[in-house]
Amino acid sequence: MNTPFVSNSRIALVAFTFLALAGCGGGGGGASAPLPAPSAEVWKGVGIAIGTGVPGTTSVLMPEVVQVSSGLFRMYYGQGRLDGGWDIWYAESVDGNHWTVGTIALAGATDPADPEFEIRGASLVHLPTGQWRMYYQATPKFDELNPTNPPPFFQMMSAISSDGVTFTREGVRIGNEHFDPRSILGAAAHARVIQLDSGTYAAYVSGRLRTPNSGGLYLCLSSDGLVFHSPQFVVAGGDPYVVRLNGQYLLYVDTSLPGSSFGGEALLASPDGINWSPPSSVTLEDAGGTKINYGPDVGGLVMPNGKLRLFSNYNFSSILFYDRITP
């Protein structure tokens, strides 16, 4: 049995060998010519959005931020429990700077053997019906310090909500070969899902095929946001964040390699969300100018002024937000 992808910034390790980064630009879609790489970016931390601070909880990881209305933003993030399980919490803000912690939006299971004992990595899509669909990674309990014994069995799940606060599970969206030998991927971990301009739903999934040494970021498409197909390799990396901004799609990816705590963040650009440029480098610094040197699980928010703000894990105990300083 092949070891599945490990998407976890606590240790920022992967349990397989990535394909070479140099050969991964311009992912699936058959673009006739490589797209130019975006400019290298430097981002500086300007404030703490979320800390642990909740009795009976541990680390916070994997922020996802959405705009609910003209005066309300909502963040979804993984919150660890003392029993080793994880839940998905939410917090709200009126300005993107100051955040008030709410409560659990979706609770992980209490049985360590349950496929949803550890849930995190939320990705929200606002549906034409007005409902919110949350995609998230889930796995039974695994040893995060030694992720090969036992290994994680990541799947991409979904849940639905009418208010974006209380969610009802819908089931597996992209499974893995451990639970379902018919699944389109061998493992499906931290993902971001968006609806492209064409109307197609695109899932950018940290995963692998059924063959060894096939890990990386895969693009899977869907007409309804429920059934995904046609996995296409995009880039060697994982833990993606994708956003539509100024007429193009931007994709931020953790490009860590096995045996390293953090290999860096990369940025790709696309006119259609399918054909991607070669990657350029992204540097994340804390407020003191120290480079972030562990897998950050980047999220983001387009602010009212039209500028992008990034969010990430920080010291495994808080969520830091950044503004771009270069270029």
Domain spans in the chain, listed from the N-terminal domain onward: 21-326
pLDDT at 257: 57
Cα separations in angstroms, 93 against 87, 134, 192, 296, 314? 20, 19, 22, 21, 19
The alpha carbon of residue 76 and the mean position of all alpha carbons in its chain are separated, in whole angstroms, by 11
Q: Which residues contact 90 (CB under 8 A, 6 or more apart)?
A: 74, 75, 76, 77, 102, 103, 105, 164, 165
CATH assignment, 21-326: 2.115.10.20
Please give the model's pTM, rounded to 2 decimal places: 0.91
Distance of alpha carbon 266 from alpha carbon 252, whole angstroms: 6
Tokens 């669909």, located at residue: 133
Q: On the CB side of 136, how many CA atoms lie within 13 Å of its CA? A: 36
Closest by CA to 145, choosing from 41, 284, 6, 244, is: 6
3-class SS of residue 314: strand
Cα separations in angstroms, 262 against 63, 89, 172, 238, 246? 18, 26, 30, 12, 29
**Each residue's pLDDT tens digit, 255-290:** 875 544 556 899 999 999 999 999 999 999 999 999
Tokens 């990657």, located at residue: 279
Closest by CA to 173, choosing from 153, 150, 193, is: 193
Strands (E), the chain: 41-51, 57-69, 72-81, 86-93, 100-106, 118-126, 132-139, 155-161, 168-174, 187-195, 201-208, 216-222, 229-235, 238-245, 248-254, 265-270, 280-285, 299-302, 308-314, 318-326
Residues lower than pLDDT 50 in the chain: 1-26, 30-31, 259-260
pLDDT at 61: 95
Burial class from Cβ neighbours inside 10 Å (0-12, 13-18, 19+) for residue 17 reads middle
pLDDT at 15: 34
